Structure 1
């Protein structure tokens, strides 16, 4: 991701917005990324995707997800049992 300072944004908004036409750009303050500038179409597309995270209750997780998680949970439980010993 290309970065521009707030000073660069104020001095040369055309360059910054042209860069944001290609991909989102970070706007920095005091060398720290603080904002993201992107096209409105990209923003709308991002909003439409929504938040892919989901919380599952006991026995609600899809089988393919449980198949990935169960072995790691078993390993962590076994590791905890070894430590308590």
Structure 2
């Protein structure tokens, strides 16, 4: 069964219905017939956050200093091993 869908204009007219439904399962909110938001109960949201991948990608310009130093040291070791 698919998630219920409401429009942004429904938010003011049917907010109680939307909240009641979102407590049971995620609700999609559309704007101009395009999905824009999902409303869900906090338990489902917290479960999703707990399952999220903690890894991050950085450019070298924004990388935390300690991670940059560790990366550069690993690259130096790799180059030295490759030259040997």
Q: TM-score, normalised by structure 1?
A: 0.58
What is the match of residue 16 of structure 1? 18
Which portions of structure 1, spanning 4 or more consecutive aligned residues, are displaced by more than 2 angstroms? Answer: none
- 1:48 aligned to 2:26? no
Instruction: State how far apart, in whole Å, the 1-side matches of 2:21 and 2:14 are.
Output: 11
CA RMSD, aligned part only? 1.7
For residues 12 and 40 of structure 2, the distance between their equivalents in structure 1, rounded to whole angstroms, comes to 16
> How does 1:25-40 map onto structure 2 within 5 Å?
25-40=27-42
How many corresponding residue pairs? Answer: 53
CA distance in 1, matches of 2:12, 2:52: 32
Alignment of 1:53-68 (within 5 A): none
Secondary structure of 2:28's counterpart equals strand
Give structure 2 stretches of 5+ with no counterpart: 54-84
Give SS of 1:9's match. helix
**Residue deviations 1:8-60, cap 9 Å, x none?**
11111000011101100100000111000001111001100113xxxxxxxxx
